[in-house]
Amino acid sequence: MASRDEVWFDDAAGPLVRPYALTRGRTRENQYGLDLVTLVVSVQPEVHERVVEPEYADVLWVCEHPLSIAEVAAKIDLPLCVVKVMLADLIERNYVIYRTGWQPVRNAPDMDTMQKVLDGIRSL
């Protein structure tokens, strides 16, 4: 058993709420294929924030405007895997809509998109 006279303070004790507690132990989302650059936006966060846990409400407000999942995770300072599970929950309840990042098809590279990226960088 752990020693009872051992006391942890501040950061040594870990986060106040263990990240995986927010997701009830779930660490992987694979229902929607969410990745770093999947764009998400919340739908009526002012309505839905009232019916979700506070951490989920934070997610809703952070993606009030379209943002990548990487940005959502960075702004609410939670690990990516946790944020993905939370977003999948919110997508399932129709509180968040999403758009998957561009996925190349190996035999048909999207030259049009690549050209637009190239032109865009040139004109920065």
Site residues, other proteins (CB under 8 A): 1-2, 19, 35-46, 64-68, 70-71, 73-75, 79-82, 94, 97, 99, 101-104, 106-107, 109, 111, 113-118, 120-122, 124
How far apart (Å, rounded) are the C-alpha atoms in residues 114 and 51? 42
CB of 21 to other proteins, least distance (A): 13
Nearer to other proteins, 1 or 54 (CB): 1
Q: What is the dihedral of CA 91, 97, 101, 105, to 10 degrees?
A: 80
CB of 113 to other proteins, least distance (A): 6
How far apart (Å, rounded) are the C-alpha atoms in residues 6 and 54? 31
Nearer to other proteins, 3 or 54 (CB): 3
CB of 65 to other proteins, least distance (A): 6
Long-range pairs, 24-27, Cβ under 8 A, ≥24: 26/85, 27/81, 27/82, 27/85
Phi, psi dihedrals of residue 123, rounded to the nearest 5°: -90, 10
Nearer to other proteins, 53 or 99 (CB): 99
How far apart (Å, rounded) are the C-alpha atoms in residues 85 and 80? 9
CB of 60 to other proteins, least distance (A): 10
